[in-house]
Structure 1
C-alpha cells in the first residue's frame, strides 16, 4: 500500500512539474503569441481606441490595452503619451493590489480574517467590533461618502485624499461615526482600504513596512515599475495611489489567474484567492458595475439580479479604478486584460470590451 501511494504521489508530482514547466511566465518579460495584433483584434481596437476629442474630453479614452493569453501577449496598444514603459496611475485598482499584498501577509501567518482591526491599528479601539474581513468587504459600517465629482463638498474621499484627512488618512477614517453594524452592509469606501493599509503597517512594524510591498510581492513577480505613494504619516495610500506599467500590473493578474502561484512558489494561499473571489452576500446591486468580493470585483449576480457583465464568463473578476482603470482576470479562458484610461463620462462598457476580447481571442485560436 505504501509503495502504491508513493508511486501515485511521484506520478502526480511528475505531471505537475511537467505542466509547470510548460507554462509561460514573464521571465524577464512577456513573450508574444503568434497572433499578436492580428486582424482578429480590429474590433477590439476600434472600440477601445476611438478618435479622441481633446477639447471636451468625452468618449472612450483608452491609454493602454494589454491582453495576456496563456501567459503570452496577444494584443497590446498604447495612446500617447502612455507607452509600455509608463507607470500609470491605477486609482482604485490599488485596493485589489493591496488585498493581494495582504494575501502574502496572511500566507506568512501575520493575521486572521476575523482579527479586530484594533489589534493592529490602535486608533480603531473606538470601533472594536470591526474586523479585517469587514474592511475587505467594504463593510466596516462607518459613515462614508465616496463621490468625487458629484458632491465634492460633502465627499469623505475628497476630504481624506486632498484636504483635512490627507496627512493621516487612516486616522481620518477611524473617527468616522458608525452608520451600520460591521459586516452587515456593503458601502464602498476608500477609507476602509486605507485602514487596511494602516493595519498592515501594525502587523509588520516600521522597520519592515516601507519595503514590504517590494519584498513580499513586487520583486517576486518581477515588477520593477511600481511607485506607491504614502501619506504624511508614512502609511501607504492603499486606496488610490499605486502607479505601475500595464505589463507589470498584468503580472498581478497572472498570479491571481493561477490561484496565487508564481512558478513553483505559492505566494498566496488558494483559500485567500477563493475569499477574494467569493461574493459578499450583504452587497446591494449597483447597476453597471460588478459585485464585491474580498476587495476584488466579481461578475457574479446577486439573488434576483442579472450577471453584471453578461457576455463574460461568470468566473471573471476584476480590479477596477476611477476613470476606467481595470485589471480583468478570466480564469477559465486563461486571460488577463489590463486597461488604463482617462474616461470622463459613462460611455465605456466593461461588458462590451470583454465581449470583443473574447470574440477576438476565439478567432485567433489555431
Structure 2
C-alpha cells in the first residue's frame, strides 16, 4: 500500500487504521462519554510549566500570558487540566481561528464521502464566486486565493477586510462579501492569510451537502467524536462562520486533536481520508516567512506546521518538526505532537503579544512527554 501524500509521521497511524483488528482496538484508549484519567505529572517540570502558562493574572490590565484553560491528553488519556478566569471544564470557549481547522476536519469528512475534489473550481460549489473561475478549493485551503484581502484586526480596523466582514459591511452574508473582492495575484502563487477564504469554504460546503448543512458539522464530525459542547454561529445567510465563531470546551476540542494525532481515525472509523490528511498537513510551497516572523508556524491546509517548505528549519525549535497546530486570535491553540502522542489544548485571553508558542511547548514537553514527566 502506498501513501505518497501522507506525512511520514502519520503513515503508521493510517496504516494501522487500514489493518485494524480487535487486538489493536483493545490496546488503544479512546474517550467515551468522558476521558479516561491517568496519573497527573508532578515535580519541577510541572511547576515550571505552570509558572509560564498560569502566571499571576491581572484582569484589569490584561497584560502577560493569560491562559483560560489547558488540557493535556497523552496516548488517549487525560493527564492534566487547569482552568482560570471565567472558564470552567464545561465552558464552550470561543475558538476564534481554531474554527478554521475544525471546519477543515468537517470538510475532510465531506471529501472522504466523495462530495468534492481539491481541484474543483470554487464556483462549482459556490456560484457567487463566478467572477473568480480559476480559484480552486485547494487555493482556499492554503489561503492562496490571490484576492486582495487585508487580515488586520483591532490594531488597524479602518483598513481591515476581516473586521468589515465580521462586524460591518459583510456580516449579513460573509462569503458574498468575499466574492466581491478583486484579485491582485494569480491563485496558488502567494500566501495571504485570509478569514475570507475560510468563510467561502464554509459557504461551499452548503451546496456540497444540501439540506443536511445545518446539522452537518454535528453528524459528520462532532457526534462521531462524542463532542457535546459545540456551538457554531452562522451569519444571516445561514452560513457557518468557519473562520472564527466555533465554541467548545477544552476537553471536546482535544477530541479533534486525538482524531488528527491518530491519522484521521476514530476507533474503527476512518473519518478523514489519507489523501486529505496528506494535503492539509503539507507545507504550502509558496510560503516564505517575512523577516522578523521566523517563529511563525508555516501554513498548510487550514492547519499550521512546525516545518517550512524545502527547509529543515523549525519555527518552534523546542518542539519536533512533526508538530502541527490549530491557532487562533488571543492565544487559542490546539497542538498535536504525534511522536510524543500528545494533544494539548490551550484557551487564552492574551492581549499584548508576550505569549510564545515555543516557550509553552518547551515546558509542556518537559512536563508531559513521558510518564516520568521527562522529555
**1:306 and 2:310 are equivalent in the alignment:** no
Compare 299-308 and 350-359 and name the one that shifted more: 299-308
* SS of residue paired to 1:86: coil
- Correspondence for 1:293 among 297, 300, 303: 300
**1:90 and 2:95 are equivalent in the alignment:** yes
- Map 1:142-221 onto structure 2 (within 5 A): 142-205=147-210, 207-221=211-225
- Distance (Å, rounded) in 2 between the aligned partners of 1:136 and 1:87: 26
Residue 80 of structure 1 deviates from its aligned partner by 2.8
- Distance (Å, rounded) in 2 between the aligned partners of 1:255 and 1:47: 28
**1:332 and 2:339 are equivalent in the alignment:** yes
Q: Which residue of 2 aligns with 1:134?
A: 139
Residue 37 of structure 1 deviates from its aligned partner by 5.8
Q: Which residue of 1 aligns with 2:30?
A: 25
Residue 185 of structure 1 deviates from its aligned partner by 0.4
Q: Which residue of 2 aligns with 1:35?
A: 40
Q: Which residue of 2 aligns with 1:274?
A: 278
Distance change (3 Å), C-alpha of 1:224 and 1:154? same
Distance change (3 Å), C-alpha of 1:144 and 1:359? same
Q: 5+ unaligned residues in a row in structure 1: which ranges?
A: 1-11
* SS of residue paired to 1:142: coil
Q: Is the 8 A contact 1:50 1:60 kept in 2?
A: yes
- Distance (Å, rounded) in 1 between the aligned partners of 2:271 and 2:72: 23
- Distance (Å, rounded) in 1 between the aligned partners of 2:299 and 2:311: 16
Residue 216 of structure 1 deviates from its aligned partner by 0.4
Residue 54 of structure 1 deviates from its aligned partner by 1.8
Compare 50-59 and 171-180 and name the one that shifted more: 50-59
- Map 1:343-358 onto structure 2 (within 5 A): 343-358=350-365
The two structures have a TM-score, normalised by structure 2, of 0.91
Compare 277-286 and 103-112 and name the one that shifted more: 277-286
- Distance (Å, rounded) in 2 between the aligned partners of 1:13 and 1:240: 34
Distance change (3 Å), C-alpha of 1:167 and 1:14? closer
The two structures have a TM-score, normalised by structure 1, of 0.93
**1:226 and 2:230 are equivalent in the alignment:** yes
RMSD: 1.7
Q: Is the 8 A contact 1:36 1:73 kept in 2?
A: no
- Distance (Å, rounded) in 2 between the aligned partners of 1:14 and 1:154: 52
- Distance (Å, rounded) in 2 between the aligned partners of 1:170 and 1:300: 31
Deviations 1:46-79 (A, max 9, x none): 1100001222111000000011000111110000
Q: Which residue of 1 aligns with 2:86?
A: 81
Residue 21 of structure 1 deviates from its aligned partner by 1.6
* SS of residue paired to 2:51: helix
* SS of residue paired to 1:311: coil
Residue 113 of structure 1 deviates from its aligned partner by 0.2
Residue 301 of structure 1 deviates from its aligned partner by 2.3
Q: Is the 8 A contact 2:303 2:325 kept in 1?
A: yes
Q: Which residue of 2 aligns with 1:318?
A: 325
* SS of residue paired to 1:75: strand
Distance change (3 Å), C-alpha of 1:30 and 1:136? same
Distance change (3 Å), C-alpha of 1:305 and 1:148? farther
* SS of residue paired to 1:126: coil
Deviations 1:175-214 (A, max 9, x none): 1000100011000000000000000001111x21000000
- Distance (Å, rounded) in 2 between the aligned partners of 1:15 and 1:94: 30
- Distance (Å, rounded) in 2 between the aligned partners of 1:302 and 1:239: 24
